[in-house]
Every structure is written in structure tokens, then in C-alpha cells.
Structure 1
């Protein structure tokens, strides 16, 4: 039991800390710890004083001691995770949050922080589950509602996200992020007048804080007949972010200012790569491709049987920006097909194989369990889509795990793919999309591998140009491969209420058009380096350049 003298010194130490006398606070707490090294109150004061004094290493040491002394208490985990997060040590912050939740499942702060960490690195379903748990434990705190709303928004679940964001905006009318997020959602659901009004609110707050919403305003205007006003906004800016440069480039392309557009594309990609530290590891990718060839050079696994109690995946293959989002939107407009989007499960299967899992049945059940966690096992559906770009790297494995699953590969002129890749931000393909030469190199590496493996399997090819030219016939052929009759809604895919959470969301909300076909010709000179790298792939696909 603490003595009255110990209690007095702890109280004096807290008073000293509150008055900013950090040295006195440490001296008093240290005198208590000299007598009992496990006095939690004194350890807390030492951690607080060290952190307030800028000694993060010392604060971390004392917080870790607090966890060792009292692993059932919440605050040491919470404070340590926050310290690590603010220091940019995200993986360590995640480890602390997970330990906190192991010790106390109802630690709402740990659930919130871990949910936010996972959401930021695009593990959105797991992040949403943690944010929901935090709300269940702590109640509908506006910031929790905003964070969950943003997570669901990024998943494409706009109907679920909107009421959460509206509640957050009502509760925090002077907080910029949820207002800006709600404005973006309204734009994406084509409610442009409401989006403009909400963005006006966001702009007033942004200006008061010394920031702006210029990029978001230009993006909204780009969806309307006033798109030139959006271009004028960005033309007037001197210091644009990477994302803003890409948006300006797309608008300059629309205005037929092609040379300026390409300058924006390359500068925007360079800025995004520099900010994120992303780069394409050519040698590493080449090794991975060789490993996959060797791993599946023979049928080392017995194929899994069909599980008829659940919907089956439709695996959609193709390079980023080749038309996979369009094809998925057509499929998901069918009443018996659910959109899965870019699911991470196939790469997980590859990792399991590398760790020694030798049962295709076990791999199948892992994939389907993950699909269930993502809410894709819908008893009213026959199929769900998996359109993670470049899943073809694992195609032999997919065929062993799901021998009867439909396979659909989307093809498009490689140079049109390059232009689209350079004008949008994406991280697929091992970060190949930040330099033209890297994107072309990755395309050239994957194309012969895909061609080789596709000869072994029953795969339906959707050629983007053919689909645009003969939508009805191509849709019928696609659905014949799936094994379902085509439905009229698939021809009006652009009217679907479903939101595709990819850079192509705006394009798939428009009626089918041929504006993107042959677009590469506007950039023939700039594409010269890629043309040489892609010569074989262009010829293999039956294209000319």
C-alpha cells in the first residue's frame, strides 16, 4: 500500500508537472521510484515529463515500463501508440495497438488508432471493423463517425458512408476534413449542386486555416459543363501537388493542349513518387516473375473441388488502365453478380504457398473466408468479381484453387494504356506507374507471361476497342462465358448506383464512348521510349503503332 508520504510526493510531482516544472516533477517521481520501482503513478509522471521535454526516447522507455508493470491498464498502450504514430513509426504503433487490444478488447482508443492505421494503408475492411468496434464501445463520437464514413467512402460504400459523414459534419461544423469528404462523396454521386454548396463551406474553413480546396474544386468542375473553369483554376496556380498536376494534365488533354498535358503528367508522377518514396524495382520484379514460372512449371498441387454453397469468384485480368473497371461495372450490373473490386486475396495465396501450404483446398477455403469477411458471400449472388490488376502473375495457382472459376482478361492498345497510366495515380504493378519507362517495362514483362499461361486455360478476352464498337455482342459473349444470360441493365452500366472506387469512377459513370481509343497518337513523340519497349507486346496483341 502506498504510504501517505508517497501519495504526497506523487501529488506534488503532478502539481509540478502541471506548472511546467519538469525537473521538479522528475525529481519527486524519481524519489518514489527509488523506493518502489513499480509505482505506476511515478512511472506515468516520468513518461509525461520526458515527453513534454522533447525526450521521446525517454518517454518511450517509461511507457514500455508502465506496460510491463501494469499490462491490464489502457493508458500506457494508448500513449505509447500515439508517440510512435507521431514519430512516423507506424509499424511499431500498430504492434502496440494490437497488444493493447489483446490485453483489453474494449480499448476504444487502440481500436480507433489501429482502424485508422489500417485504413490509411488501404486495408479498409479490417479498418472499418475496428472503427465500428470503437463506436460500439465508446459511442458515436463525431471523429469516429467521420473516420468510419471516410473508410466506407473509400471502399465505394457511399450509401453507408453518407449518413455517417453528415452526422460528423453536423456535430463538428467547423472541422474541415468531414465537410470536404462529404463534398467529394456528393460529387461522386453526381449531385453537383449539393457538392458545390458543401465545397463552398469547406473553402471558407480552408482559407481561415491557410489552406485551400482548389484541386477538389477543379475536380468537381471537371465533371460538369464548366470544366474549363476548373482548368483555369489550376492554370492560375504556381505550386501544384502531384495529384493537382495530374488533374491539370487531364484537363489540358481535354482542351487539346497535349504537350502541356504530358509535362504535367510526368511532373505529377515524379512529385507523387518523391513524396511517397515509391519506385519500381525492375530486378526484383524480374526475379518474382521467374520464381512464379518455376513454382508452377508442373502441377505440384491437386486441384481443389468446387464449393457449391457459396458464390464463385470471377477473376478479371489485365494491366492497370486497360478497361478492367469498365468490364467489372458491366458484370456488376447483373442481378446475380456482386462487385468485389481490387481484392488482396490472390497475393495472400501466393504468400501461403511460399510458406509451405500444399493443399489447394486449404487455399480455396482461405480465399473464400476472406471473401466472407469482405461481405461478398451473398446468398442471392452466383458470382463476385476480383479485379486486382496483374493477378495473372498467379494464374496457374488460381486455376488449381478455383478450377471452374471464370477467367476474363481485358486487352487494350498498349500505348493507350501507357497514356492512361501516366495520367492517373496508381500503385499496382509494384509501383511501375510513376515513370513511363517503368510502366512499359512491366507491361512488356507481364505480356508474354500472360500470353503463355492463357494458352493453357479457358479464358475469355474482352478487347476494349471491340467492346466499344459492339457493346451488345461483346456483352452477350462475356456473359455466355460466365454462364448467365445478359440483362438489359448491363448495357446501361453507367446508370448503376454502384460506385467504383478507382480512378476510373468518372469514366464508368458516362455512356460508352470512343474518346480514349487512339489517344496515344496525341503523344506519339513523348511515347517513343515506350514504343521501343512495347514493340513485341503491340505486335502480339494485333495492334499497330
Structure 2
């Protein structure tokens, strides 16, 4: 480095330390005019741009540094943080994956990617990166808390609890692990413990000028004191989206139906704005068209060799809030069935098929009749299942209840011709009411508005009706029949699976497994019929979407 430039860089660094960013930027600019690729000067320029919130300039400078020093990690870390702050999550993810590809020992990149994936509910890969960050950087309380929360979302409460306790012990003033620990106790039905833990979290929150009112309301809503939860929320003028949805459900329980619907609509609109989500109708229609086209092709016998000696999948299909969690809980109460939950494997099929075929899914219909391509789909799915621990000894089957997997029925029948497939059916109007009162992103973000949810439901109904005409017709379990005749419906279900029913299945609500979905509380209750026909309480609010659902309602015989 030229002596004059070295002196200018030293003066610029001193200016940054003293907060004189204007002078620092001027000095860095002088160096860059003489040496445009000097990394030290570019770093100072970035710090100055960041200080005056010139985000576009800061991004450009960071990308320039990355090009000049591709093996240096700090610019990628700062670039990822900048992109995340701007809400550009996909770009941040790409930067972080590139950082890890260059150096797998970059703990900060693993930590950020693990947190990003966990927030996106991509939980298994998120947990992997968080564990890697802990291995590399140590048991930082925030990392422990993030991994604990991730495992909670997976339903792995026993693994999550010690992580959260360690986070609380290491950082007693950290609010989130204290709150998560209380939530974990609530999800285990340890309500007294949950109250004590939440009291501790509340003391932390007060010192920070915050509160845990929403968390306390959630806890009370699970107890006979649910009216106290409603009183808490009724007393607040401005509620965040998830708390507003909780109040919607409590107002429904109090039979204040008009107010409940108003809350649900407002909460969904708020959540959609905050997340930048909107129904991707065109993407959904393109996928449906490709699947309908594939269903019209003659199914060929590709002679797939079934993986012997390992559990096989049971596919549980249905719209969110149709009863799929209940059916999984019934199946998982059997000694030979392992619960898989909402497995994301089939959602990866369009990208997988595009790579295997060299063309988008809609143009790959004929190639999907090829034994090699279908075998790749089958093997990909089973590898993912193995990575999730679902192929371990001790079971004959594992469940996959990702909502709306019915869209992929033609591919399922090709790749898994012998797998049991159970389609859960419920009155579409009841489904829409329930979907509007719960937070979910399934179905291309259709559930933020009743109109979009109804359109998506109708489109899926049309598609599966098309499949049925082509001979792809899964076993249908009707929710309303199940809640009125559980024993016979369970026996018929198990006959389809090929296992004898077991007594534990009639008391599936007593199984201590935690179902990590919005339905976790409902499946811990004895079976009841209260949810059937709920839509009548919202007949006026549903009037505008009744025509959209008319064919689906008729197909179901409702």
C-alpha cells in the first residue's frame, strides 16, 4: 500500500471512531480515486454509507468487496444483514448459502441461515444450521433459544426444553426464551408450571417496557378460565395479528360471531401486510394445469422397487382445518405407525422435476412416465424421510399430512403406487370459517382472505374431481361421520392401511405426542361434534363466497 494511502486510511478510521463520517467518507473517496480496488477504503466507505442509511450505496459497496475478496466472510455477513433488514429474504438466503459453501465453519452464516429458515417454517434444515452454529460458536443464549423454538415448532418438546432452560440460565434477562419455556409447558398441558414461568417472563418484560398479555391470554384460553383470556384481549385497543386471531376464536366461543369475524378479517389483513404475502393465484393455476395434464396420461407400471424393511408413507390429504391433524393423531396412536407431521418433501417436486427433466413441470408430462425420473422422485422422498428419522426401526408406516398434497396425486400414484392415501373431507364452509380464524400460509397464501381461500378450495376440488375421473381415487374419510361414529370409521381406516385397529386409537386425545400445528389443542380434547356446522353462525359473512364453493359443497353431499 502506498504510504500516502496508508496514512489516509488511518485518518479515515480515526474519523469513523470519532463519529465524523463525512470526513471519513471524504478520505476514503480520495484513496479510491487513486486505488479503486483498495478493500480497506471500500470497507470505510461502506461504514459511512451505513451510518447515513444509504442502503443502496452500502449494498453496492458490499457486493463490490465480495467480488474483490471472494474468500472474505465479513462482507457477506453484512450484506445478508442488510438484505434481511430490507425484507429481501431470498437474496439474503442466497448470500448465506454462498458463504457456507465457501467456508462451512462460518458460524455466523449458519446462525443467520438457521434463524431465517426457522422463521420461514423450514424447520429441519433450520435446526441443522442452528446446531452447526452452536458447534462452531458455542452455546450462545440466543442460539439456544432459536434452536429450542425451532424444535418446539417441530413438536420435539422434550429436546427443546433443556435448550430453553439453558438459555434462560445463561441470560436471565432475555425475554424470548422465558416466554417460549412458558409456551412449552402450556403445550404439554402443564398449566400451573406455565403460569409460574409466564409470571417470571412478565417481570422481565416489565423491566423492558413490554408485556406478555397475548401469551397469558393464550395460556388462559386452554383452561376453564378462557373468559378471563377474552376479557384481557377485549381490554386492549390495538392487537397484533396473532393476538387478534386468538380474540376471534374466543369471541366465537362466547358466541359473539359478528365481532369474531371482524377480528379474523382484520388480523389476516394485518398479517398479510406485515409479511408481504398475497395469494399466488397464477402460480397455483399453473401447477394445477400441469397436474391435470399429467392425470390424463395413461399411468404406466414403472416397476419401482419398494424399499424393503423400512416404514412406508401414509399420505393424509386435505385442506388446512379439514381434520388432517385429527386423522394423523388417530393413526399415530397405533403402535406400528410413526407420526411425520407436515412434511415439506412434495412441495420440492416442481424444482426437482425441472432439474431432472431440464424443463418446467408443465412441459415435463411425458418424461414423468419414465421409470428413471419417477425413481428419482421416489428416492428423493425416501432420502428426506430418512434424514428426518422416519425410517428408523420400530414402525411399519409413517404419516405425511402436509395440507394440500392432493395436488400431487398423479405423481404420488406413480412414485408410490402401493402407499395408503387418505383424503379427509369436511364441509367446505366449516373449513373456510376455521381457516380464517387461524394463522397459516399453506395453499400459496390463500388463507389471508376468505375469497381467496374459497377460490383455492374450489380449484383443488375441481382438480381432485378430475383425478377421480382419471381413476385416481383415494380413500375418503369424512370428518362429520368420524366424529359421530369413531369406532367404525377407525376400523375402516385401518383396513385401508392394512393394520388391525388398536384400543389406544379410540382415545387418541390422551396420546402425549405434541402435534405442531394450530390444531394441537383440539386434538388433546375428547372427540366432540361442536365444530360440525359452525358455518351457520357466519352465514351472512359467507354469503359472497357461497357461489364459489357451490360445486365443492355439492360434491361432498353437504
TM-score, with structure 1 as normaliser: 0.93
- How far has the Cα of 1:378 moved from its partner? 1.6
The Cα offsets for residues 282-328 of structure 1, whole Å up to 9 and x where unpaired, read as 45534432332113311366533322243211111111111000001
CA contact (8 A) 1:317 1:391 kept: yes
In structure 2, the partner of 1:373 is: 387
SS of equivalent residue, structure 1 residue 195:
helix
State the 1:510 CA deviation.
0.9
**Where do 1:442-453 residues align within 5 Å?**
442-453=456-467
Task: Say whether residues 1:497 and 2:512 are aligned partners.
Answer: yes
How does 1:301-450 map onto structure 2 within 5 Å? 302-303=301-302, 304-355=304-355, 357=357, 358=367, 359-450=373-464
Provide the rounded CA distance (Å) in 2 between the counterparts of 1:138 and 1:277. 33
**Native 8 Å contact 1:187 1:220 kept in 2:** yes
Q: CA deviation at 1:265?
A: 2.2
Counterparts in 2 of 1:61-140, with a 5 A limit? 61-140=60-139
1:527 matched residue in structure 2: 542
Structure 2 CA distance, aligned partners of 1:425 and 1:35?
56
Given that residues 301 and 360 in structure 1 are in contact (C-alpha distance below 8 angstroms), is that contact kept between their aligned partners in structure 2? no
CA distance in 2, matches of 1:279, 1:69: 38
CA separation of 1:491 and 1:76: change in aligned 2, threshold 3 A: same
Q: Which residue in 1 is equivalent to 2:363?
A: none
Range with bigger deviation, 450-459 or 229-238: 450-459
Q: For the Cα contact (< 8 Å) 2:16–2:24, is it kept in 1?
A: yes
Deviations 1:27-86 (A, max 9, x none): 444455555554433332222222223233333333233323332222222222222222
Greater RCO, CA 8 A, separation 6+: 2
How much has 1:145 moved relative to structure 2? 0.7
Output the TM-score relative to the length of structure 2.
0.91
The 3 A distance-change label for structure 1 pair 267 and 4 is closer
Q: How far, CA to CA, are the matches of 1:435 and 1:25 in structure 2?
A: 51
User: Whole-Å Cα distance in 2 between the matches of residues 301 and 458 of structure 1?
Assistant: 16
Match of residue 474 from structure 1: 489
Correspondences of 1:78-227 after superposition (within 5 Å): 78-227=77-226
Q: Where does structure 1 lack aligned partners over 5 or more consecutive residues?
A: none
Alignment CA distance shift 1:156-1:85 (3 Å): same
State the 1:348 CA deviation: 1.9
Q: Distance in 2 between matches of 1:222 and 1:290?
A: 43
Give yes or no for the alignment of 1:49 onto 2:64: no
User: 1:533 and 1:41 mapped to 2: Cα distance?
Assistant: 61
1:333-390, Cα deviation, whole Å (9 max, x unpaired): 2222222211222132244335553321111011111222222222222211111111
CA distance in structure 2 between the partners assigned to 1:300 and 1:536 by the alignment = 28
Match of residue 273 from structure 1: 272
Question: How far 1:458 sits from its partner (Å)?
Answer: 6.0
Q: Which residue of 2 aligns with 1:241?
A: 240
CA contact (8 A) 1:350 1:394 kept: no
Counterpart of 1:526 in 2: which secondary structure? helix
Change (3 A) 1:47 1:484: same
Aligned residue for 2:360?
A: none
Please give the alpha-carbon distance, in whole angstroms, between the structure 2 residues aligned to 1:105 and 1:283: 38
Post-superposition offset of 1:331: 1.1
Provide the C-alpha distance between the structure 2 equivalents of 1:81 and 1:276, rounded to a whole number of angstroms.
18
Contact 2:291 2:410 in 1 (8 A): no
CA distance in 2, matches of 1:34, 1:263: 60
Distance 2:267 2:39 in 1: 51
- Alpha carbons of structure 1 residues 437 and 85: separation in structure 2 relative to 1, 3 Å: closer
2: CA distance, partners of 1:147 / 1:505? 21
Which deviations, in whole Å up to 9, do the C-alpha atoms of 1:238-284 show, x marking residues without a partner? 11222222211211111122222222222222322333333334455
Whole-Å Cα distance in 2 between the matches of residues 441 and 70 of structure 1? 50
Quick one: distance in 2 between partners of 1:416 and 1:78?
46
Query: 3-state DSSP class of the match of 1:513?
Result: coil
